[in-house]
Amino acid sequence: MSAALQGPRSALISTAQLVREPSSSLLKWRAQYGDPFLLPTLNGPVVFTGRPELVRQIFNAPAHFFAPFEPDAMAPVVGTGSLLSATGTAHRQQRRAIAPGLVGNAMPFWTRQIRALTQAQIAQAGAQIDPRATFMDAALEVVERLIFGAPDPEFSRLLRAMLSRIHPSFLFSTKRRLNPLYLHYARASKALDAALFARIKAAKARAQEPAMLSAMVHAKDPDGQDFFEAQQIRDQLRLLLIAGHETTATAQAWVAIHLAAHPQVQDQLRAELQAAPKPASKGLLAAVVDETLRRSPVVREVLREVAQPLVLGAHTLPVGTGVAASVWLAHNAACWGDPRAWRPERFLKGTLTPGSYFPFGGGARRCIGAALALTQLRVTTAEWLKQGRFVALEPLPVDAERHGVIFGPPACALGFERDRLG
Ligand code: HEM
């Protein structure tokens, strides 16, 4: 690396701090070593930056400058045949094969689906909700509809059993074989696989239907051969199921928590929704969602591995270095002015500096589900607020905790106060 990058010395200590106190550790290292800084980790050295001009360099560099970061670390969860491990042309082709249900013109369909399922969920809800659990059910139903065409309760149970056994200790280190937590996880993972392969086989035996699994099993390459092998489909499905529901549900839980903590904003938004009931991509509803993803991002780092020497500011990063465009550092930069405050109005005035806000990552690997996630967050928020308001029953969480690979609020209870009818 040309100009020397500064950072802590011990890979063991910095990995432990990253697992246990990620929020404060990253801000502390930036204050101590500057931006970018070099962090030794058990997965190798990683350069962290949250500076907009460097983030832009990462996202604008041609795709062949990067390889996926430590695909082996995520292998126990999504295998090695998903988008996360694919590179170059194969990555582009796979994205194209998966994308149709997730692009802009599919959103009116999803708006109707999400509105109907949210209304059904509100009808069942009591005066008190556990926001993470409530929105997790809804988000899983959406992603199951996307993949299988309909919700699948037995499958949800197996997926939850697997997810609840994921532990960072075997994601941050590939030496997992002797880890008892990993062995516990592996049993639940095997049961999920059996269900996935059964569904893949059944979908293949039927004619093509309008669902992502069916599109994948029937996709052909230019020679008329199957585009995906069964194992690859398993891996893509695991990735989509996990990436597609925990993230959105966790962000939705934060939206509800921030609204309960800011009743004035909530009243203003409710008034706006009465005046213009359709969720819009502009206005306070969108700003509430955008500010929540800024203040409480569920994915904290966008990681790549350098595959060709990469110029990053005054540094040239050698092949093999990890590079993290840090959502957490960028969203907590001084340019936001009091970044820990939740203020949706930031998104109502002025324009953003490119590279300062990227909850969905960027470049060739930008989140493929971003449009669906934003639609879901806006429609779900609008539906709940059309029928009542979220209220604090106890001190509300402010800081996130780690849930596997994402970050979300600790368990808490929220009140839901319904409007009186008539
Ligand atoms: C609030 C919700 C969500 C957030 C914050 C989020 C965030 C992210 C981020 C930061 C990445 C990495 C991007 C990069 O490397 O540049 C990513 C990738 C991905 N996300 Fe999302 N995501 C969300 C919802 C979804 C949904 C709803 C789906 C699918 C139904 C999805 C599927 C994926 C997939 C498949 C990838 C890998 C893309 C690739 O490697 O080409 N995500 N997401």
Residue-wise pLDDT tens digits, 298-317: 999 999 999 999 999 999 99
The pTM score is 0.94
Atom of ligand 1 nearest to the CA of 59: 16
Mean pLDDT, rounded, for 401-419: 91
How confident is the model at residue 400, as a pLDDT?
Answer: 94
Residue whose CB lies within 8 A of the most ligand 1 atoms, among 367, 374, 381, 407, for a mutation test = 367
| pLDDT > 90: percent of the chain | 77
Distance 80 CA to ligand 1 centre (A): 17
CA distance 385 to 353: 31
372 φ, ψ (degrees, to nearest 5): -65, -40
Is residue 278 very low, low, confident or very high in pLDDT (cuts 50, 70, 90)? low
Distance 244 CA to ligand 1 centre (A): 7
For the chain, the structural domain boundaries read 11-418
Residue whose CB lies within 8 A of the most ligand 1 atoms, among 360, 377, 381, for a mutation test = 360
CA distance 314 to 114: 47
Q: Is 396 exposed, middle or buried (0-12, 13-18, 19+ CB in 10 A)?
A: middle
How confident is the model at residue 422, as a pLDDT?
Answer: 46
Mean pLDDT, rounded, for 217-246: 92
Beta strands in 269-327 (DSSP E): 301-306, 310-312, 315-317, 322-326
| Inter-residue contact 142 to 120 (CB < 8 Å) | no
Atom of ligand 1 nearest to the CA of 373: 27
Mean pLDDT, rounded, for 402-417: 91
pLDDT at 115 over 90: yes
Distance 381 CA to ligand 1 centre (A): 20
Atom of ligand 1 nearest to the CA of 377: 1
Distance 369 CA to ligand 1 centre (A): 6
- How many angstroms separate the first and last alpha carbons of the chain? 68
Ligand 1, atom 41: closest residue by C-alpha:
365
Distance 247 CA to ligand 1 centre (A): 8
pLDDT at 267 over 70: yes
Ligand 1, atom 36: closest residue by C-alpha:
367
Q: At what angle do helices 230-261 and 284-295 cross, to 10 degrees?
A: 110
How confident is the model at residue 93, as a pLDDT?
Answer: 92
Atom of ligand 1 nearest to the CA of 245: 27
pLDDT (tens digit per residue) in 128-184: 999 999 999 999 999 999 999 999 999 999 999 998 888 777 766 666 777 888 888
Atom of ligand 1 nearest to the CA of 251: 1
Atom of ligand 1 nearest to the CA of 361: 16
| Inter-residue contact 91 to 83 (CB < 8 Å) | yes
Residue whose structure tokens are 């979300």: 408
CA distance 161 to 131: 19
Distance 368 CA to ligand 1 centre (A): 6
Distance 333 CA to ligand 1 centre (A): 23
Mean pLDDT (the chain) is: 92
Residues with CB under 6 A from ligand 1: 83-84, 95, 143, 146, 239-240, 243-244, 247-248, 251, 298-299, 302, 359-363, 365-369, 372-373
Atom of ligand 1 nearest to the CA of 304: 15
| Inter-residue contact 54 to 36 (CB < 8 Å) | yes
Whose CA is closest to 180, among 190, 165, 195, 193?
Answer: 165
Distance 10 CA to ligand 1 centre (A): 31
Distance 291 CA to ligand 1 centre (A): 18
3-class SS string, 53-88: HHHHHHHHCCHHHEECCCHHHHHHHHCCCCCCCCCH
Distance 37 CA to ligand 1 centre (A): 25
pLDDT at 271 over 50: yes
Q: Where does 11-418 sit in CATH, by number?
A: 1.10.630.10
Helix (H) or strand (E) holding 218: helix 212-218
Distance 405 CA to ligand 1 centre (A): 12
pLDDT (tens digit per residue) in 330-386: 999 999 999 999 999 999 987 899 999 999 999 999 999 999 999 999 999 999 999
pLDDT (tens digit per residue) in 48-78: 999 999 999 999 999 999 999 887 778 888 9
Cα torsion at 400, 403, 408, 414 (round to 10°)? -110
